[in-house]
Every structure is written in C-alpha cells, then in structure tokens.
Amino acid sequence: MKSQTVFICIFMLSLLALHQCRQMDVGEIDSSSKLYVPKCVHSICKGFIKRDCWCCGPHCWDRLHDCDSSPLCPPP
C-alpha cells in the first residue's frame, strides 16, 4: 500500500513539474543563462609601486580605454 502511495505522489509531482515547465516562456531560460564577461578586469599591478590597472590575460594597462582598444585583447 505504501509503494502505491509513493508512486502516486511521484506521478503527481512529475505532472506538476511538467505543467510548470509548459507555462514558462522560453525567453526566460535564454535570458537567465547569459553571463556578461567583461573584456578587461580591474586588478592591482605589482612591480616597484603597486598601482591600479586593467588587464586581459597577461597584458595590463593603466587605463581602461587602452585595454578595451588594444588588439591584444580578444572580444569576450
């Protein structure tokens, strides 16, 4: 008797999940899975004097504009 009750509960939960999935707009799934990855990230450059810089990969610049416009940085 318990196994029939468990089977019915699982079946009802599956139907509820299927119903909720059919109501969801496909656009909601696409927009939630997109992540914005910036081309350049802010970092602290180490050297003789620690300073703020913008880096993409191993290359670093003092200004964000220089980093964004550099051909060494591939688009995200």
Each residue's pLDDT tens digit, 11-67: 888 888 877 776 666 555 555 566 777 888 888 887 777 788 988 888 888 888 888
Q: Please tell me the pTM assigned to this model.
A: 0.48
Looking at the structure of the chain, the number of domains it has is: 2
pLDDT at 24: 65
Q: Which two tokens stand for residue 60?
A: 């670093």
- State whether 68 and 54 are in the same domain: yes
Domain that holds residue 17: 1-33
Please tell me whether residues 24 and 44 are part of one structural domain. no
Residues forming beta bridges with residue 41, ordered by sequence position: 55
13 and 48 fall within a common domain: no
Q: Clarify whether residues 40 and 74 are in a common domain.
A: yes
Answer yes or no: do 42 and 74 share one domain.
yes
Question: Positive or negative, the Cα torsion across 15, 18, 20, 22?
Answer: negative
Identify whether residues 21 and 41 lie together within a single domain.
no
User: Are 20 and 40 within one domain?
Assistant: no
49/75 same-domain check: yes
* Confidence grade of residue 71 (pLDDT, cut at 50, 70, 90): confident
Residue 51 corresponds to which tokens in the numbers above? 């300073």
What pLDDT, on a 0 to 100 scale, did the predictor assign at position 25? 60
- pLDDT at res. 27: 58
